[in-house]
Each structure stands twice: as structure tokens, then as C-alpha cells.
Amino acid sequence: MGAGGLMPAPGEAPRPQRPGPQQRRGRQQYPKTKEGPMKGFAPPPRFGGAQVPQEPVPITRSITVTEGVSVKDLAEKLGVRGKDLIASLLMRGVFVTVNQSLDAELVKDVAAQFGASTEVISFEDEMANEALESLMSHDNVNEIEVARPPVVTVMGHVDHGKTSLLDAIRETDVAGGEAGGITQHIGAYKVRIGKPDSPAFGREIVFLDTPGHEAFTRMRARGAKVTDIVVIVVAADDGVMPQTLEAVDHAKAAGVPMIVAVNKIDKPEAQPDRVKQQLGDRGLVPEAWGGSTVFVDVSAKKRLNLDLLLEMICLVADLGSLKATPERSAVGTTIEAKLDRGRGAVATVLVQNGTLHAGDSFIMGNTFGKIRAMFDDRGRPIAEAGPSTPVEILGLEGMPDAGDTFLVVADRDKAKGIAQYRKMKERESQLAKSSRVSLEGLAEQIKQAGVKELPLILKGDVTGSVEVLADSLQKMSTEKVRIKVLHTGVGAITESDILLASASNAIVIGFNVRPERKAAELADQDGVQIRLHSIIYELQDEIKKAMLGLLEPTIKETHQGRAEVLNLFRIPKVGTIAGCRVIDGSIKRDAEVRLMRDGTQIYKGKLASLKRFKDDAREVTSGMECGIGIANYNDIKVGDTIEAFATERVAAELTAQ
């Protein structure tokens, strides 16, 4: 037969026969579906024959993984194939890819199925453990610990001279640029002791200058977390104030040694011994009085004893034996972050260990990036920053929060995955916070249905200020008015802020920022109020006034007089007129009246007429008789009492919770 037939042509080799269904190699046969829409379909084996333990396996080992671990990394830790792990997750109804991050609880459950207990630690903890292991094993001989400069936080009451003292040490003028002379942001500065005759000549000290207003308590607390020594500044002419005691409490809670700088000793009314006595009562006994707290009398204005203060800081630092490893990857803390129109997100970072280089990849809270440029505290570009160095960095992919840990990483992709996982978890927690309602919360909402709300949208120039302002404003809420911060952000006031305010009937507050031109036009068009401030005192006062404006004024009632009904006169087209005698006070023509019968209020309204004999009267006094008509009411009886009163609207007062 021809080429198209079944038999080979003469001279051709026999054609290979197509194998039958039972002869096909490598194909396992499955019974086909006989009924339904899938008739004739042979299903493949489930999960490709993955070896997934069906029964609970006894826990025989322990593994440690980082937050947001991927399926691939978890499979490696468990010593199983990736497809087996995916199969286990599919059986739980979780659809994932090999590079997807897993939640901590899910990781623990799945690992237990493969006989492993799991400890989930943060990415920072894992890097710290690796650095410690490297140091202990002496794999890198260059990773040796050296002394580092101390980090000093300056704390104290408003206007006691904290920034002025720092200015005198830095020989610059920071306070001159602050609104109202009050420090609004955290600043970090490195100074070198340059006096040749000083024992500490050539040594460096890093200063954190924290805001003085008491609403910035959390910023001060955050400053104490990264600091080695706290300098409490107290004005000799003013003495110990509430914020001074707050600062002392923060330093004690952080377990940080304290030095007290008694400032303004050049003033005639200065009483340094009174300050020592007041702080001595709080447990800070001066060394000269047999205690352990260092006290230094200084004057920022006259530059008195500044060298002595710096020497004492170095002495206390030496007792603390402050060490760092310059050769390791940099670790630090975010001091501040802001949005710059030309440079994007900019963060101020205090390098606490290791050395930071330009070009390093890093993770910072729920954002990451690569350092494009670094600047020191005086704005000069630098290529690297060692331990205890404050620097400003560019190259962030997003805005970090003040207080976030800063960590240099070798694997940029892993840093990106961790940052995205954290951002996702933060978004989930925010959604859960806004949408999930418990019965207790529902009951509370019903109970507070009559409570007035003042919705606010808060924009500022730096994250630290915005965070603390939102916190302090919400704490101003009272039983009558609740302040609700709908949105906070860093940077100029934008159109989206105005749209949110318009939809929510909110007020937009700008702290050290201004609205964009289009945003300002939209605000005028929609009638959205924008309030701009640079000093927190004024902002709080204005919010307090706004809260007062929300409250309904109190109606105060003043008793005027009382009349007894002696007789009744029914006049056509007029109604019932009560012949009365005024018992006490007086009855006025414009008064409101209350008709009382047997001690019970029958009607409340206004006077329709007041007559003395046949003439209209403006006022009838006690002991006199008169005719009284009540507007829109005729059911008056002999023996009833008519009470006259006046009402006035009194502005409501806010009561603290």
C-alpha cells in the first residue's frame, strides 16, 4: 500500500506500531469519570504525589525563622521539598507561590505538621544574632570592639535653656530658627572637644536635642531609648518644674545615668542650691552632698563651666565602657524623617554600631532603600559614618516612622520582601482596627451616641511631630467632645487631604507646612477650613475653642415671679383670661410662663397678654392683681399657679475626663 496506507511499501522498513492504551509507557491509567459534565475526564493524582504527612507528627526539632519567611526558605529550614510544603498549605485552603511570605501563626501550624516547633523572630534580631555569632567565632579578625563617643540626650522644662546650652557647646544658633524659641523637632549633633588644656581634648560627644513642650513626652522617651547619658537642664532662677520631673522619670525608666546641668547661674536671682535640694528630694543627691549624681553649674549665655560639663560627660561615659564594632554592617535608629520637595524622603539616622557607607542597601521599619547620599549634622556630604554618628540619608523608598530600627543588609531583595510584608501587616491591622466591632465596643458607641466629635486631618513637616501632635490632641478629648484624628501625614496639604476633609466634614491642620495652590483653591471652593500653626501652644488653644464651639450652650433659667389664679373670664375670639394676684416677684410682658396644678407642670409657653384693669401692662409686681392670657392655651382653672421665668444661653464649659 502507499505511504498513506497501513502496510509499508516494498523496500521500506516496517513502520513502528502505535502502542495501545495498555502498552503506553510512563502513563498510569485512572478510571474515567462516567457521569456528569466531566464525563470521560481522567483526573491526575492529587498534588502530584507530594509526600504530605496526614497524621500529627511528634515534635522532634526546633527551627528559627524570620518574620515574613517565604515558602522556599521555610521548606529549606524544614528540610522538605517546596512542593510538599505548598501541598500542605493547599490542603489548608491557602493558595501560595514559592516566593510568597507567610504569616507567623501559619508558619507555626505548618511546621508542626512536619514535626518542628518554630520560633519567629524579627529580621533585626536575626541580623543581630548573626553579627554576635560572627564576633564570638572570630571569623573576621577585623571585627574588634573599640570605644565609641557617648550619645547624650538633653532634657528639661520649657525655656530652661536646653537649646541655648547646646548652641553654646556647638557655637551655633539653633534656637534663633525655632518658632517661638521652642524646639519643635529632634536634632542630633556631634561636637568635638577642642580645648587643648581639657583632659578630654579631641574626644567626640553626640547630642540629641529634644523638644521642650510637655506634649512631646513620647519624643523625649524615644530619645532616651538611644541615649547613653541624659543631661537634665534646670534653670537656677526657676527651679524644678513638671517637665523636669517627667524627664527624670524617663531617664530612670530607661536606666540611663543622669547629669544635672544647673543653667542660668549668671542671673542675680539664681539659686543653684535650691535646685539641688529639690532634686535631692527626688532621689538625685549631688556628689558634693554624699550622693552619686553629677551636678554642674553652667551658664549658656556667659559660657561658664561648659568644658567642665563636657569632661563630666566623658567621665560618666568611661564608667559605662561604651563599645562598638566599626567593621560590621551598620545598625542604628531613625531619629526623624521628613519629605523634601527636591530630595524625596529624607531620614535622620543615628548609627549605633558598625559603619554606614554610601551605596549600602538597608531596611528601616516597613520601608527599605539604598543610600544615594549622606550628610552630617552640619549639612556636609560624607561617604561613610562610624558608630555614634548622626547622619541624614537619601534614597528611601517610603517614609519610615521615627524610632524605627535602621539595618544595613546585603540581600536587597530580602529587605524588600520583609518591608512589603510589614507594610501589608500594618495595612491589615489598620483595616481590622477600623472595621472590626465587638459587642462591648458597640454598646459603648450606643452609649456615646450623643457625644460630639471634632474630626481633624493633621499634616506636619516631620513624622515625630505629627505622631506626637495626633496623640496629644486626642488626649484633649472630654466627656462632651471627642477629638478624632482621621488622617495624619508628612508634607504639604494636598488636594486628597481637602477631599477627605470635605467628605468627612473635618478641619485640616497644618503644622509647619502650607497647602499646595490647588489644594487651597479646592478648600475655598468646598468651604473646608485650613488652620496653619508653627507653635503647639496656639494649636492646642485653638482646638480647645473649637471644642467649645461644638457644644450646645447651656440654657439657664431665672425665676421672675409667681401668680395665683383667682377667677376666670372667657372672652369670645380672645380665649380664657385668668384673673390673678401676684404672690411674689413680678410678672413681665415678655416672660415665659409655666402653668402649675397641684405641683405638676401642665403647660409651658409664652404670655399672650398682661393687663392691669383694662390697660396693657409692661410689668405687674407682687401684691397686685392682673389679667393674664397664655398664648395658645385656655384650659386654666381656679387655684392654678402661673410661674414666670426668663431663659438665657450660657456658653458651655469643657469638662476633663
Domain with 625 in it: what CATH number?
Answer: 2.40.30.10
The 3 state secondary structure assigned to 431-477 is HHHHHCCCHHHHHHHHHCCCCEEEEEEEEECEHHHHHHHHHHHHCCC
- Kindly state the cell numbers that stand for 479: 466627656
- Does some domain include residue 37? no
- Does some domain include residue 657? no
Q: How many Å apart are CA 151 and CA 391, to the nearest integer?
A: 14
Domain holding 287, by residue range, is 149-321
pLDDT for the residue numbered 9: 56
Same domain, 87 and 170: no
- Does some domain include residue 438? no
Q: What is the CATH number of the domain that holds 61?
A: 1.10.1660
Q: How many independent structural domains does the chain possess?
A: 5
- Does some domain include residue 432? no
Same domain, 347 and 405: yes
Q: What is the CATH number of the domain that holds 519?
A: 3.40.50.10050
Q: What three-state secondary structure class fits 92?
A: coil
- Kindly state the cell numbers that stand for 246: 517627667
Contacts with 358 (C-beta within 8 Å, 6 or more apart), sequence order: 371, 372, 373, 374, 383, 384
For 152, counting Cβ atoms within 10 Å of its Cβ (0-12 exposed, 13-18 middle, 19+ buried), the class is buried
Same domain, 107 and 186: no
Same domain, 383 and 487: no
Same domain, 314 and 193: yes
Q: How many Å apart are CA 612 and CA 623, to the nearest integer?
A: 13
Which H or E element spans position 85?
helix 82-91
pLDDT for the residue numbered 307: 84
Dihedral, 542, 544, 550, 552 alpha carbons, nearest 10: -130
- Does some domain include residue 14? no
Of 534, 550, 566, which residue constitutes the final position of a domain? Answer: 550
pLDDT for the residue numbered 104: 80
Contacts with 53 (C-beta within 8 Å, 6 or more apart), sequence order: 113, 114, 115
- Does some domain include residue 611? yes
- Kindly state the cell numbers that stand for 173: 544658633
Same domain, 510 and 576: no
- Kindly state the cell numbers that stand for 95: 493558595
- Does some domain include residue 655? no
Count CB atoms within 10 A of the CB of residue 563.
28
Same domain, 333 and 315: no
Of the candidates 77, 264, 228, which has an alpha carbon nearest to the alpha carbon of residue 156? Answer: 264
Q: How many Å apart are CA 278 and CA 276, to the nearest integer?
A: 6
pLDDT for the residue numbered 210: 61
pLDDT for the residue numbered 643: 93
- Kindly state the cell numbers that stand for 131: 553579627
Report phi then psi at 534, rounded to 5: -130, -5
DSSP 6: S
pLDDT < 70 stretches in the chain: 1-56, 123-124, 127-143, 172-187, 194, 196, 198, 200, 210-225, 253, 429-451, 546, 548-554, 651-657
Of 384, 411, 438, which residue constitutes the final position of a domain? Answer: 411
Are 583 and 564 within 8 A, CB to CB? yes
587 bridge partner residues = 620
Same domain, 279 and 348: no
Same domain, 601 and 641: yes
Q: Give Cα separations from 384 to 317, 326, 397, 510 (angstroms).
A: 24, 11, 21, 35
Q: How many Å apart are CA 233 and CA 343, to the nearest integer?
A: 35
Are 224 and 154 within 8 A, CB to CB? no
- Does some domain include residue 439? no
Q: How many Å apart are CA 15 and CA 33, to the nearest integer?
A: 34
pLDDT for the residue numbered 16: 54
Of 411, 433, 461, which residue constitutes the final position of a domain? Answer: 411
pLDDT for the residue numbered 657: 38
Same domain, 255 and 334: no
pLDDT for the residue numbered 79: 86
Which residue is it, cell 467628605?
503
Same domain, 502 and 530: yes
460 bridge partner residues = 490, 511
Of the candidates 144, 167, 160, 169, which has an alpha carbon nearest to the alpha carbon of residue 313? Answer: 169
Q: What is the CATH number of the domain that holds 173?
A: 3.40.50.300
What are the pLDDT digits (tens) for 433-465? 544 444 444 445 445 555 577 788 899 888 878
Are 457 and 486 within 8 A, CB to CB? yes
Q: How many Å apart are CA 237 and CA 274, to the nearest integer?
A: 9
Q: Give Cα separations from 371 to 390, 463, 494 (angstroms).
A: 15, 20, 28
Go through 70-96 and write b for each residue having 16 or more CB atoms within 10 A of its CB, e for each that does not. bbebbbebbebebbbbbbbbbeeeeee
Which H or E element spans position 641?
strand 641-650
Same domain, 171 and 304: yes
Q: How many Å apart are CA 378 and CA 171, to the nearest integer?
A: 12
Q: How many Å apart are CA 235 and CA 242, to the nearest integer?
A: 13
